[in-house]
Structure 1
Amino acid sequence: MLLSKSTFASYAFALLCLSGCNSGEGKVAETSQQTIATDTASHTACSSNLPARFATSTPDTAGQQHQNTSHTGMVWVKGGTFGMGATDAEGRPDEYPQHQVKLNGFWIDATEVTNAQFAEFVAATGYVTTAERAPDWEELKQQLPPGTPKPHDSVLVAASLVFSPPVQQVALHNPAQWWSWQKGANWRQPQGSGSSIKGKENYPVVQVSWHDAMAYAQWAGKRLPTEAEWEFAARGAKADQLYPWGNEAVEQGKPKANTWQGTFPTKNTGWDEYSGLAPVKSFTPNKLGLYDMAGNVWEWCSDWYDANYYKTVAAGLAENPKGPARSYDSQEPDAPKRVVRGGSFMCHSSYCKGYRVTSRMKSSADTSLENTGFRCVTSN
C-alpha cells in the first residue's frame, strides 16, 4: 500500500508496524519511501505486532494491593517437564526448535480477566490505562525511523486501534486495511467513542497494554504468566497436541473456540455463535479446566520477545525460564516487544493460526487492541 507523505506522517505510528504483522519472512516497512511493503505470501501473523506509542510511566499500584489474594477462580497446574515449541510443520519460524522445559507448579486464572474484574481494580486505585492517555510525541519518535514527521495534533489524542472490517475482500498482507485509529477507544469503549461495555461485565477486558495488565496483576497479588507457563497450561499438561482441546482442527466437529469463520476479514459466518468477543466460559475448557486458551483474545505474557530465543535454550533443560534478557524483533529493532499468546476472535486459518498452543506473537508493551487481554498466575 503506497502512502502519501502527509498520510504517512499522520498514521506512521499506527501503520508502520501493521506491516510487521506478517511472519518472519515478510518484508518490513520501507519508510524511506513512505511505503508499507510486505511479502504477499506471508499471511501468518495476527495483528498483534503494533507500534510503541506512549510514554511508559503508569500510576503506582504497589501500595494499593487488593486484599483478596485467594485462589478463587484459579486452577492449580502441577509442575512438570514438557517439550515447549512446535514439532509439526504448521508453525512460524520462532516456534522452533522444541526444547525441554521444567516448571514448578503454579495457579492460573481459569478465565481471561473480565471487564468487571478490571473495573474493580480501576475503582480501587484510580488507575488510568495507556489508551486513555494522549501519546507523548517525544517518547514516540524515539521508536520510529529517524526523520519520521510528527503527526497532526488531531491524531495525537487518547485513542487506540479498533477492528474495522473492509466492505470488500482485500489482500491479507496489509493489516492496515482492517485496523483503524479510533479516538476514545479504551477498555470502557472498546470500539471507540459511543461504544460501551454495559451488559458485558463477563467479557474479557480488552484495549489494555502490557503495562495495564502488569498493574492489575500487581494489585491483585498475582503476576503475568511466563510464556512457558502459559504454553504448559494451554496444553492441559498434555504432550504433543496442537490445540488446547487436542488435535482436531478448529473447523471440525462442534465449535471449540472463538475464532473467525468464513472469509477473513470481510465476512464472519458466526458458526461458533460469536462474530466478535465472547463472554468468558462460552466454550468447553481444556483438561485442566482453563477457558479460552485458544481464541477470544490474545493474552499478554511477562516475557520479552526474541524470535531466536528458543535456539539459545535448545541444548539443555530450561528450569522455570523467564524468557530472554531483552527483546529483539528484526522487523522493528527499535521497539521492544512482549510476548502474546493464544490467538483471538480474528484468527482464521487463511491468515492466522494463533490458536495453536505453540503459536507466538509479539506486541510493544504500550500497545492496546480490541483483541488483546490477559490472565494472571501466582506461585503462592
Structure 2
Amino acid sequence: MLRTTLNLFYRTFLLTLFFFSGFSVFAQNPEFKVKSFTHEQNRLLARINTNMRLDDNDEPCALILVRTAETGLGFAASSGIVGDVEWKNGEYWVYVSGGNRTLKMFKKGIKATEYIFEIILQSSETYLLDLEVERPEPIIAEWPVTIITQPDNANMIIDGNAVNRQSKTVKLTEGTHALSLEMPGYEKLEKTIEVDENNVYFNFELPKITGVPLMIESDPAGATVYLEGVKLGETPFSVFYPPGTYQVKVEKDGFIIIENQTLTIATPQTKKTFTLEENVGFITVNTFETAKVFINNTEYPEHQNIKLQPQLLTIKVTMPKAADKEQQIVLKRNDQLTIDIFPDAATGTIQVAVTPFDATKTETITLTANGVIDKNIKLEKVPSGDIEMVFVKGGTFTMGCTSEQSDCGDDEKPTHEVSVSDFYMGKYEVTQKQWLEIIGNNPSHFKNCDDCPVEQVSWNDVQEFIKKLNANTGLHYRLPTEAELEYAASGGSLSPAGGGAGGGFKYAGSNNIYEVAWYEDNSSKKTHPVGQKQPNELGIYDMSGNVWEWCSDWYGENYYENSPRNNPQGPSSGSYRVWRGGGWYSNSWSCRVASRIRIAPGDRGSCLGFRLVLVP
C-alpha cells in the first residue's frame, strides 16, 4: 500500500513538472506601483477647478492628478471621493476633502494598492501621483530540438546566432525561429521552423551549386547585360554562371554603351558594378507662358533644360490666336542650348477697373483681334477680422531668467541667446468681435464686450480660426512661438536684451504692473477691453495680463538647455502647449515677461486667449 502511494505521488510530481516546463505561466499577479508623488503649483487650470468643487463642508477640494496609461481604474479615499472622477489627457482627476491621508487604486485582475501620503493634503491644492502597473515576465517553454543536415555539419545559424555543430541537438524556446544553413559548394538554405512539443525533429538537404554566384549592378539601374552576346538580364540581378572570362556588353537608352570589356567569373562569388555615362544634351525654349512646345512631334510641358539624346531636333511652338512657329537645330552630347521662339499673336486692348483698387480677382476675358474691352469688376468684402499688426524688426536677445526677472521658475533657465527673424505681431489680443466675424459664434465667458479679448478657446480652436482667416485674406497668420512672444513682450530690438536702449522691464513695458496689466489685484475678476493699459516699447498692448496667450510650441521643461539659437520652434512633440503673459486671474509673478506655463491643447478657460503673428 505504501509503495503504491509513493508511485502515485512520483508520477503526479513528474506530470506537474512537465506541465510547468511546457507552458507559459505568470509568477504572480500584476500590481500597482507609485513612481512619484509631487505637489503641483504651476497647474493653474487645475487650481481653478479645485476652487470650484466643494466637499460636504462647503470647503474647496484637494485635487489628485493620477497619471497612468492604465484605463478603467477605480479609487477610494480615507475621506471619500468628492463627485465624479474625471479623465483628462492621460490623467484621472480625483477630488478629495482637505486632510485626506490615503488613496486606494483598484482594477479587476490587478492587486489593489492603498497609497499613504507622507503629507496631509490641503484644500485648493493640486498633487500629481505618477502610477504604473508592474506585470511579471512569463515563463517560456523550452524544447530540445534535433536538426539533421545533408551534407553533415553544415554551418547553422538560428535567429542570427551561430550554433555549435558538435551536437545535433539544441535547446529552443517554443515558437517561430529563423534557420540558415551554409556549406561551401552548396546553395545557402534559409527556413522558418515552428517549435513545440510535437515538432522537435527537422531534416534538411542543401542543393549542390552548379555555377558561381554572379551579381551585377549598374548606376543607374535598368541596364541590359550581355555575356558573349547572350542576354543575362536587367540590372540589378543575380544568377549562377559557369566560371571563366567573358566579353561583356552593357547598354541603356540615353547612355553610352559599354563594350569591348572582359568579365572574369570565379569562386566563391563574383560581384560587378558598371557606371554608365549619360549620352544627352539640354535645350531651353524661351516662349510665351501659354504656348505649347513640341520637339520631334512630342509635347514638353516644361520648357526649361529639356534633356534629350543627341539628334536633329524639329521644334514647333503653337499658341491660340497665333500662327505656329518652327525651327530646326542639331543637339550634340553635353550641349546646353537656349533658343527663342515667340509666335506672332493677334492683339487688342483691355481696360479694367477694379473696386477696391488694390483688390485681386481671377476672371477670364475673351478678346478678339484688334478688339477693345472695358471691364468693371467690384469685389465683395470677405470677413477678415480687421486685425491690426505691428512690425517687429528681428534681432538677437537674451531669453529666459534675466536679471530683472526675479524669483524665476526652473523652466526659465538657463538664459540663452536667441535670434528671431522679422515678423508682424498683433497690436492687441484677438477680440470677441473678431472671433465672431470669422467663426460665427462667441465662446467667451465674459460676453457682451466686443473689444474684450475672446477667451474659452483651446489651442485646437485657434487653429480652426487661423485656417479660416488665412483662407479669407490670402495671408499667412499663425500663433507666435515662445521666442517671438518673449522677444516682442520685452521690447524687441528696443530692449537692452535686444541691443537697444529700452527699459529692460520685468513686465511688458514697465516695472510697475499696474501701468501695463489687468491682473488679480485690479481686474475685478474679469477681462477688460484691449488697449486700455500702457503699451510696451513696440506699441503692443496687454502682453502682460488680461488673458493668457497661446504659443505655437510644445512645452518642454528642460528645452532651454538645448534650444537652437535661430528661430527656435520648441520640442518636436509633447503632451502640453505653452501659454504666456498671465491673465486677469493671475498673480504678478505669472505676468512677468519670462514666465511660462504648460497646458493641454484641448483645454479652455475664461482666462485663456491669444494674439496672432503675420509672416512677412
For the aligned residue pairs, the C-alpha RMSD in angstroms reads 3.6
Which structure dedicates a bigger proportion of its chain to strand? 2
Q: What's the CA shift for 1:37?
A: 9.4
- In the alignment, which of 312, 337, 348 is matched to residue 576 of structure 2? 337
**In the alignment, is the contact (CA less than 8 A) between 1:71 and 1:107 conserved in 2?**
no
Asked whether 1:358 is paired with 2:594, we answer yes
Aligned to 2:507: 243
Where does 1:126-165 land on structure 2 (aligned, <5 Å)? none
Task: Show the counterpart of 1:57.
Answer: none
* Mapped contact 1:87–1:96 kept (Cα < 8 A): no
Q: Is the 8 A contact 1:8 1:34 kept in 2?
A: no
1:348 Cα deviation (Å)?
A: 1.7
> 2:167 — aligned with what?
none
Please tell me whether residue 368 in structure 1 is matched to residue 604 in structure 2.
yes
Aligned to 2:465: 216
Cα shift readout 1:266-285 (whole Å, capped 9, x = no counterpart): xxxxxx36431111112111
Distance 1:107 1:189, change over 3 A: closer
> Following the alignment from structure 1 to structure 2, what is the Cα–Cα distance between the partners of residues 257 and 202?
16
- Cα deviation for residue 36 of structure 1 reads 9.8
Q: Distance in 1 between matches of 2:436 and 2:595?
A: 30
Q: Distance in 1 between matches of 2:453 and 2:117?
A: 32
Counterpart of 1:87 (choices 399, 402, 407) is: 402
The number of equivalent residue pairs is 255
What is the Cα deviation at residue 68 of structure 1? Answer: 6.5
What's the counterpart of residue 10 of structure 1? 84
- Does structure 1 residue 229 correspond to structure 2 residue 489? no
Deviations along 1:242-296, one digit per CA (max 9) or x if unpaired, are: 21123x242xxx54310111xxxxxxxxxx3643111111211111111110001
Distance 1:241 1:40, change over 3 A: farther
Cα distance 1:311–1:197, how it changes in 2: closer, same or farther (>3 A)? same
The residue number in structure 1 matching 2:426 is 109
SS in 1 for 2:565: strand
Question: CA 1:255–1:249 in 2, change beyond 3 Å: closer, same or farther?
Answer: closer
When normalised by structure 2's length, the TM-score is 0.37
Larger Rg: 2
Cα distance in 2, alignment partners of residues 288 and 189 from structure 1: 28
Deviation at 1:201, TM superposition (A): 0.9
Q: Give the Å deviation of 1:69.
A: 6.3
Task: Return the offset for 1:188.
Answer: 3.2
Question: Who is 2:273 aligned against?
Answer: none
1:251-266 pair list within 5 angstroms: 254-261=514-521
The corresponding residue for 2:222 is none
Q: Secondary structure at the match of 1:220?
A: helix
Q: 1:134 matched to which residue of 2?
A: none
How far has the Cα of 1:324 moved from its partner? 1.0
* Distance in structure 2 (CA, Å) of the matches to 1:285 and 1:2: 38
The aligned counterpart of 2:559 is: 309
Greater CA drift, 273-282 or 107-116: 273-282
Q: Counterpart of 1:302 in 2: which secondary structure? A: strand
Does the alignment pair 1:282 with 2:532? yes
**Higher relative contact order, chain-length normalized (CA < 8 Å, sep 6+):** 1
CA distance in 2, matches of 1:39, 1:94: 27
Counterpart among 320, 325, 332 of residue 567 in structure 2: 320
2:390 corresponding residue in structure 1: 75
* 1:2 and 1:35 in contact (8 A); partners too: no
| Change over 3 Å in CA distance of 1:40–1:7 after alignment to 2 | closer
Q: Distance in 2 between matches of 1:343 and 1:68?
A: 30
Q: 1:346 aligns with which of 553, 560, 585?
A: 585
Q: How many Å apart are 1:7 and its aligned residue?
A: 3.9
- SS of alignment partner, residue 258 of structure 1: coil
Aligned partner of residue 464 in structure 2, secondary structure:
helix
Percent of pairs with identical residues: 33
Write the mapping of 1:32-71 to structure 2, written as runs, cut at 5 A.
32=105
Provide the C-alpha distance between the structure 2 equivalents of 1:217 and 1:305, rounded to a whole number of angstroms. Answer: 21
Tell me the amino acid that sits aligned with residue 469 of structure 2: A
- Displacement, 1:220? 1.9
Contact 1:235 1:243 in 2 (8 A): yes
Q: 1:215 deviation in Å?
A: 1.4
TM-score (norm. length: structure 1)? 0.59
* CA deviations over 1:163-210 (Å, ceiling 9, x no partner): xxxxxxxxxxxxxxxxxxxxxxxx5351xxxxx612x11111111000
Could you tell me how far 1:347 is from its partner in structure 2? 1.3
Q: Distance in 2 between matches of 1:347 and 1:256?
A: 14
Letter in 2 for 1:363: I
Cα deviation, 1:13-63, whole Å, max 9, x if unaligned, reads 4796889xxxxxxxxx9784699999999x9x9x9x9xxxxxxxxxxxxxx
Tell me how far apart the structure 1 counterparts of residues 604 and 410 of structure 2 sit (CA, whole Å).
Answer: 25
- Note the C-alpha offset of 1:303: 0.2
